[in-house]
Every structure is written in structure tokens, then in C-alpha cells.
Structure 1
Amino acid sequence: MKKGLSIIILLLFLFPSMASAHTKLVSSYPSNGQIITEPIKQITLEFEEALEQLGTIKLYKAGTATAVTNVQVKENKLIADLPNDLENGDYKIEWKVVSEDGHPVTGQIPFKVQLKQVETKTTTESKTTDKAVKDQTPAKEKQKEATPKKERSKYLIPLIAIGLFGIALMVGGVVLWNRK
């Protein structure tokens, strides 16, 4: 009985760490909310752990899919080539990877392409557009700060519940232990 109870308690302490073992995105290019001002040829996502070869990257501009090619996993990186230069506008990367422990992990990265245009007669229009974009930048930064908090909070409640369940089991085990 003592041996079985010890094993159960040990498993309870191990389970919360296994529940949070999913790999996490460490960095990306382009990064969340970044404004790209030079042409890019590749999307690179870097994760905490090595990945299985099942990663996907999809790129959207205003809800319409944009071509990406040569999607590949190299250790802990997911890389995709862009066949054409991206036009100015708002983009969203949707990615899905499978960590070595077999758990699928997904996410989205919004960013903006704002390539410098060749000066033309409509300089006044571009200055107006630039000012409008600068006025919107703080909102993007606020969104960037809010996203990681959402990501953390979705795991917090299950971990607290598992911890409370473990404490309840330990208290019950101690009570049973003392009755003998």
C-alpha cells in the first residue's frame, strides 16, 4: 500500500511538468506586429525544442492565401520560402508544428509590409498614408503585448486545477496513512 501511494504521489508531481511540455515559439521573422520595410524572401520560426517533420506555414493577406514554397523543418526551426516579393499590406502567418513529444502546437503572427515606394507625383498621398500608419502603430504594439498574456493564461487554469487535485490526493493519502 505504501509503495502504491508513493508512486501515485510521484506521478502527480510529474504530470504538471508533462502538461506544460509543449514546445513554444521563441522567435520569428517577421515577428509579431513587425512592420517590414525591405523585401523578404523567407519566413523563419524558431521553437524551444526540436520538431517533427509535420510543420506547416500558411500566409494570408486580407484573408486571401499567398503562396509559400519549400516549407521545411530543420531541428527547431520551421522555414518557408516566398516565391515573390510581398506587396504592401497586412499579413498573417498561420503555423502548425508537432513537437517531439507528439503534441501539435499552432499559432498566428500578424505583420505588415510597408515597402518604400519610388517617389512620384502623388507624394502628398504617401505622406498622408505614412502619417495614418504611424498613428495606428501604438495600437499594434498594444496588441503585441496582449497576445503573450492570452497564450499564458490558457494554460494557467488547467495547471492550477491539476495542482489542487494533487494537493487533495496528498492530503487524502496522509489521512489514510495515519489511520493505519
Structure 2
Amino acid sequence: MRKLLFMLMCLFLSIPTIADAHTELSSSNPKEGQRVTEELDEIVLDFAGAIEELSTMKLMKDGEEVSLSQVQVQNKKMVGTPSAPLENGSYIIDWTIAGEDGHPISGKVSFSVQIEHMNEEKEAAQPKAEENKQENEQQDKEAGQKEDQTSSNPVTTIVTVLLFVILGVGLVLLFRKKRK
């Protein structure tokens, strides 16, 4: 009976840790802070674990969404295809995924595009874009943005309740046997 109790306690202590594991971004193309100097055909986000089809990404430039012709989720990867060549400037990939455990996780990857052959008219608009970028960065700092990992996971709650029930039954059986 002691072995059963020991096994139940080990199970109780290990399952919440496993259930709280989160899928994280393992790499991206472009990388965080990267300066892209050639035309970018696709944006690729690689995650440590499988992600759900409901996962999304948005590409932002100067606070405005840049159109992506498609976003595909493929096991541990999310691939976005820009609708048109990206103009010079600063960009943010704003992503949200649902990992294997169903827990929503979000994050951002910033990069810049600086292609030499872009025409000079677009370059003239850069000071305003930089000003907007600095305002957005200041707002992000003030808001203290971090990955959203505050949502509760119903699976974790159910598993925890079941473990308490199993532990309770095990203790009742243990004490009943001692009385006899």
C-alpha cells in the first residue's frame, strides 16, 4: 500500500509540471533584429513543439498591418507570404499560437528591410516612419508587453482535480487497511 501511495504522490507531483510546458519560438526568418538586404519571399517562424491550425501571424509596419497573401501552419512551423515586396523600413511580426497543450502564447519579432534599389521617394518618408516606430516602442515599454501566458488552461485544472481525487482515494484506502 505504501508503494501505491508513493506512486500516486510521484504522479501528482509530475503531471502539473508536464501540463504547464509551453511551446516557444525556437527560430525565425528573419531573425530578431535582423536587417534584410534582399527581397523577402516568406516569413518563417519555427517553434519548439507542434502548433495548432488556429495560430496566426500579422506583419506590422509603422503601426499598420502589411498584407500577407497566406499564412500556413505546418506542424512546428508557421509560414507567411507577403502579398507584395516589402518596402524599406522597420517591421514587427506579431504572432499568436496555440501550443500542443492548448495554451495561447504570443510574441513579436522585429526586423528591418534595407534594400539598396528601393526608390528615393520611399526613403524620404523614412523619418516619419522612424518617429512612429519610436512612439510605438515607447508605448510597448510603458505597457510592459511580454508573452501572454496568463490564460488558465482547463486541461491543467481537470488533471489537478483528478490527481487530488486519486490521492484522496489512496489515502482513504491506506487508512482503512491500517484500522483492520
TM-score (norm 1): 0.61
Q: What SS class does the counterpart of residue 102 from structure 1 fall into?
A: coil
Q: Structure 1: which 5+ residue stretches go unaligned?
A: 130-149, 155-179
* Residues 1:83 and 2:97 are matched in the alignment: no
Aligned length: 129
Q: Structure 2: which 5+ residue stretches go unaligned?
A: 127-145, 150-177
Counterpart in the other structure of 2:49: 49
C-alpha distance after superposition, 1:79-121 (max 9, x if no partner) = 111011111111100001111221111110000111113798x
The alpha-carbon distance between structure 1 residues 8 and 119, as it changes in their structure 2 partners (threshold 3 A), is closer
How many Å separate the matches in 1 of 2:38 and 2:52?
31
Counterpart in the other structure of 1:58: 58
For 2:40, give the aligned amino acid: I
**Considering only aligned residues, what root-mean-square deviation do their CA atoms show, in Å?**
3.1
The alpha-carbon distance between structure 1 residues 118 and 32, as it changes in their structure 2 partners (threshold 3 A), is closer
Identity %: 39
Say which structure, 1 or 2, has more relative contact order (CA 8 Å, 6+ apart).
2
Q: What SS class does the counterpart of residue 101 from structure 1 fall into?
A: coil
* Residues 1:74 and 2:96 are matched in the alignment: no
How many Å separate the matches in 2 of 1:111 and 1:14?
38
Query: As a proportion of its length, which structure holds more helix?
Result: 1
Counterpart in the other structure of 1:117: 117
Counterpart in the other structure of 2:11: 10
The alpha-carbon distance between structure 1 residues 118 and 18, as it changes in their structure 2 partners (threshold 3 A), is closer
How many Å separate the matches in 2 of 1:64 and 1:118?
20
For 1:16, give the aligned amino acid: T
For 1:17, give the aligned amino acid: I
TM-score (norm 2): 0.61
